[in-house]
């Protein structure tokens, strides 16, 4: 791999050019000094989609297309590779990428199972090139503002954290792979690893116990794929307890399009409360000393966002930090350990609802696993 400096273009390869792969391409096209040089996807329609997007942006000159990600690696025409292939392929793709000196951004979830995540962590332990996990919800402007407020002590000691996502059902993907737990890791891994990562980030502590209740009550029950009915959850409550005594709760419903907000976050401590709302981008803060109902509300926008995309500009901000880390040699802001913990909480939640009991995280992870946020 050629040396990457501030004066040389940062060359990106995309593995998996479905919906999220195209989202990454559109973001990269807005990152200064970044170019897409290669796309790999076994599905011809997805490769053609990538070609059309690049052509429309006059950015398709010299871009090579591959139907096998290993050919992209062997071509030696990239500095950074984005893994946006289906969840169940992440472990296999990473096994092929980690021996290289390519920088890697792997979409969430890191892998679909805890054992695979642990294997990736071990394999990458002495790797010099970075591995970044795509948990971009951290970068949503009002969420980032909430994190800053908690870190600044505005609520005192954070005691209770609540995240609600009330949204539309899962979209269709190529081959309908996202209709089955065996491919996704389960809804509480596939979708909710974002929220478990936010819990870990905000509370800055080690999660120890998970309790969950959930079901598939509404979505996809009338669908059949080779005679098989989808088995993905569409609603759940999940409680996560932390070593320092804080508790976090996720309220998920995926048949709730009739909602003002898709995501709501709140953190409460002895001094007050902070909240973030999406898609309104609203941040709300109140202090107990100011009296009942006395709050300040503001819309939080980041002027650095050059492309809004699907996630309120968060993917673009993530790519800015990724590019800066590659050029400077800094560690990833969101590393393999963060990805591992976000998957482990989701896996523990699925185990909890299946077995009808609380699940300790040390049932899934070795006791010497570094805590979230470790680099």
pLDDT tens series, the chain, 375 aa: 445 666 689 999 999 999 999 999 999 999 999 999 999 999 999 999 999 999 999 999 999 999 999 999 999 999 999 999 999 999 999 999 999 999 999 999 999 999 999 999 999 999 999 999 999 999 999 999 999 999 999 999 999 999 999 999 999 999 999 999 999 999 999 999 999 999 999 999 999 999 999 999 999 999 999 999 999 999 999 999 999 999 999 999 999 999 999 999 999 999 999 999 999 999 999 999 999 999 999 999 999 999 999 999 999 999 999 999 999 999 999 999 999 999 999 999 999 999 999 999 999 999 999 999 998
Its sign, for the CA torsion 44, 135, 140, 348, is positive
| Beta-strand runs (E) in 25-92 | 34-40, 64-66, 80-83
For the chain, strand residue ranges (E) read 10-15, 34-40, 64-66, 80-83, 103-107, 131-134, 158-166, 207-215, 235-242, 247-253, 263-269, 272-278, 282-287, 295-299, 359-360
Q: How far apart are the first and last CA of the chain?
A: 24
Domains assigned to the chain: 10-135 (3.40.50.720), 138-307+335-363 (3.30.360.10)
pTM: 0.96
DSSP per residue over 350-372, as a string?
Answer: HHHHHHTS-EEGGGTS-TTPPPT
């Amino acid at each position: 791999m050629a040396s990457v400096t501030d004066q040389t273009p940062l060359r990106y390869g995309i593995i998996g050019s479905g919906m999220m792969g195209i989202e990454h391409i559109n973001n990269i096209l807005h990152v200064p000094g970044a170019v897409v040089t290669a796309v790999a996807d076994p599905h011809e329609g997805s490769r053609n989609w990538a070609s059309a997007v690049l052509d429309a942006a006059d950015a398709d000159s010299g871009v090579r297309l591959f139907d096998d990600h290993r050919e992209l690696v062997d071509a030696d025409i990239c500095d950074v590779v984005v893994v946006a292939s289906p969840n169940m392929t992440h472990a296999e793709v990473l096994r092929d990428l980690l021996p290289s000196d390519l920088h890697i951004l792997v979409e969430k979830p890191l892998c679909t199972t805890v054992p695979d995540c642990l294997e990736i962590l071990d394999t990458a332990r002495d790797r010099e090139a970075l591995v970044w996990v795509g948990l971009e919800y951290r970068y949503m402007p009002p969420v980032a503002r909430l994190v800053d407020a908690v870190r600044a002590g505005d609520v005192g000691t954070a005691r209770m954290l609540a995240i609600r996502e009330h949204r539309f059902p899962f979209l269709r993907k190529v081959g309908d792979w996202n209709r089955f737990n065996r491919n996704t890791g389960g809804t509480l891994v596939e979708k909710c690893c974002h929220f478990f990562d936010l819990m870990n980030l905000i509370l800055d502590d080690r999660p120890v116990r998970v309790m969950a209740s959930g079901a598939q009550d509404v979505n996809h029950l009338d669908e059949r794929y080779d005679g098989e009915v989808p088995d993905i959850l569409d609603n759940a409550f999940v409680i996560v307890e932390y070593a320092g005594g804080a508790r976090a709760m996720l309220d998920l419903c995926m048949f709730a399009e009739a909602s003002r907000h898709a995501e709501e976050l709140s953190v409460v401590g002895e001094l007050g409360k902070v909240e973030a709302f999406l898609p309104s981008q609203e941040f709300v803060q109140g202090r107990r000393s100011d009296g009942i109902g006395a709050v300040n509300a503001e819309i939080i926008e980041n002027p650095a966002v050059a492309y809004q995309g699907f996630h309120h500009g968060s993917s673009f901000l993530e790519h800015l930090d990724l590019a800066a880390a590659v050029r400077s040699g800094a560690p990833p802001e969101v590393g393999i350990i963060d990805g591992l913990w976000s998957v482990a909480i989701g896996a523990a939640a699925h185990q909890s609802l299946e077995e009808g009991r609380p699940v300790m995280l040390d049932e899934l992870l070795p006791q010497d696993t570094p805590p979230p946020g470790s680099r």
